Amino acid sequence: MASQQVDWSRLTGHALLTRTGERFTVVKVTARGVSIRPERARRTYSLSIPRELERLLVEFAVGTFFPAPAQLIKAGARPELSSYAWGILHAVLVDRVLDDASNVPRSKPVRPADFAGQWRITDMPNFDAAWLTEGNAPAQLELSATRYGTLFGTYRFNYSQGSIEGSLREFGGETLLLFGFDGSDEMDPTSGAGWARLIRADRLAGEFLNDYGEFSATRGLSHEK
């Protein structure tokens, strides 16, 4: 995406909000940076246009959901300014404060079918890679969408496996899959709830709200065991 498609200077003077509702104002825009001032602060902070904002714009403009600050950090935003980067990108991509000054496409609505398919679980931060690859099959999720808008499927990792069923819900401008799961863990019954969201069409992140914790997945399965 070419940088001239966004006239960042038109953000000057706009009062924006972080994901948690903290207000900040864009006080100055140069060719290299966007300076912002939080409502309850006297100093300004600057986000780099080429190293942060443009890079994040390319990463998430055509995605199927709007990222959380943690995802922006992974994509290159500085942790201490990620909430402000979130507010600026949300203003540009979702609130469309620049109107025709930007040719950035609107984020597409997320549908149950976008979650459907086979997903290879690539990371579970609560466990090491060796734990994840133990068992008799690749770590995976497999989801199908019904005509009624719900999703169901199966999960497998390590020696845990079971079924998943859920539906999409909107939270703070993001679409999440909220699900329940029921299965076994080394022959012991286990059940609970969780959530997942699309980072991109081929990337998924979520959490099993128990000892399993967070996970990341990519579309398609590995042939490796």
- pLDDT score recorded for residue 75: 87
Question: Which residue(s) pair with 208 in the sheet?
Answer: 194, 213
- pLDDT score recorded for residue 136: 66
* 143-186: pLDDT as tens digits: 999 988 899 999 999 999 999 999 998 876 678 999 999 999 98
Overall average pLDDT of the 100-117 stretch: 70
Overall average pLDDT of the 95-105 stretch: 60
What's the token pair of residue 91? 């203003």
Is 100 or 195 the better-scoring residue by pLDDT?
A: 195
Place 4 in a pLDDT band, splitting at 50, 70 and 90. Answer: very low
Over 60: is that where the pLDDT of 223 sits?
A: no
- What would be the CATH architecture of the domain defined by 112-219? Beta Barrel (2.40)
* 20-75: pLDDT as tens digits: 888 999 999 999 999 999 988 889 999 999 999 998 888 776 554 567 888 889 88
Are the C-beta atoms of residues 33 and 27 closer than 8 Å to each other? Answer: no
- pLDDT score recorded for residue 81: 94
Residue ranges of the chain assigned to CATH 2.40.128: 112-219
Q: What DSSP letter does each residue of 66-99 carry, written as one string? A: PPPHHHHHHTT--GGGHHHHHHHHHHHHTS-TTG
Residue 23: its H or E element: strand 23-29
> What pTM did the predictor assign?
0.55
